[in-house]
Amino acid sequence: MKNSMRWLSALLCLFHLGAAQALTLNPQEVVPGVYAFIGDTGMRTEANEGMNANTGFIVTDAGVVVIDSGSTWKVAQEIHRVIRTVTRQAVKVVVNTGGQDHRWLGNGYFKSIGAEIIAARPAQADMQARGRMHLEALQKVLRDKTEGTQPVYPDRYFDQSETLTMGGQEIRLLYFQGGHTPGDCVVWLPKQKVLFSGDLVYVDRLLGVLPFSNTSDWLASFAAMEKLEPETIIPGHGKVCDLAQARRDTADYLRLLTTYMQQAVENGIELQVAMDSLDQSAFKRLSNYDLLRGVNASRTYLEMESR
C-alpha cells in the first residue's frame, strides 16, 4: 500500500510539473546586441504556444527594440523575461513585421509596460480584419495559454520607411509591397548588414501562400530587399541564413509558382491540371512540403486568374 501511494504521489508530481511547464525561448546572439528567437518550423501547437516563427530584439544604450511581439500575452511576457536576462535596458519600441498572429498578438503585454508599437500602414486593415479570427483559432489549439490575449493594434504606422536612432544605433523600418501578408515589412541594420526579414523570407521549410498573400508582390518585395545586400538574415521562419539561402528557399520557389501558373492561365489550362503538372520536387527537401505544395499551387493559380 505504501509503495502504491509513493507511485501515486510521484505521478501527481510529474503531472503538476508538466502542467506548469511553459514555452522557454532561447536567444541567439546574431551579432553583438542583436538577438533572434528561432521558432518551430512546424505548425502551431500547444507545446510551442503558437510560436512557429522567429522573433527577436535589438539592444541599444537607449533601450530595446523588439521585433514582433509573439503569439500571446504569455509569450510576450516570456520574450520580456528573456530580454531582462540579457540587459537592464527597458523595451521602448516593438515593431510588428506583418499581420500574422505570432507577429502581433503579444502587443497587449508590451503596451502594458509602456512600449510604443509600430507597423507598416498596410498592416492596419489586415490586423483589424483578421485579429479576432486569429485569436479564436489560437484558442482552439492553445486553450488557457491564450489567457489575457486580445488584439491590440499598433500605436502608429509608417508608409514606406522610417529610421529609428537609439543609443547611436540606426534601425530602418522598410515597407516594399508586402507579400505573405499585405503589411509585411523588414527591419534593417545598415551598419551590421543584418536584416530581420519577417515573412518575406522562409528557409528550411516551405513557405505558405495564404488567401490574402500576393506572390507577385512578394517577389517584388524580395527583389527590393536583395538590393540592401544583407550579410545576415533573420528570416520569418527557419534558421539564421544568408542571402543565397533566402533566394534558394523563398525567391526561387515563388518564381516557379508564379511563372508556371501564369503560363497555365494564359494557355487556358484548368486549375487541377495545372496543379498536377507543376513539378515542385526541387523543394521537397523543405519541411511541410507535402502539407503546403498543393494549396500553394492552387492559390497562386487563382491569383494569376484574377488579374
The whole model's pTM is what?
A: 0.92
Please name the amino acid found at residue 11.
L
12 pLDDT exceeds 70? no
121 pLDDT exceeds 50? yes
Question: In terms of Cα–Cα distance, which of 92, 151, 91, 142 is closest to 123?
Answer: 151
**Domain covering 23-243 in this structure, CATH number:** 3.60.15.10
Q: Where are the domains of the chain?
A: 23-243
pLDDT band of 24, cuts 50, 70, 90:
confident
CA distance 39 to 26: 9
Stretch 287-301: mean pLDDT:
98
5 pLDDT exceeds 90? no
11 pLDDT exceeds 90? no
pLDDT at 21: 54
Report yes or no: 43 and 142 within 8 Å, Cβ to Cβ: no
pLDDT at 51: 96
271 pLDDT exceeds 90? yes
Helix (H, G, I), strand (E, B) or coil at 120: strand
- Give per-residue burial for 183-195: e unless 16+ CB within 10 Å, then b: bbbbbbbeebebb
Residue pLDDT, tens place only, 25-82? 999 999 999 999 999 999 999 999 999 999 999 999 999 999 999 999 999 999 999 9
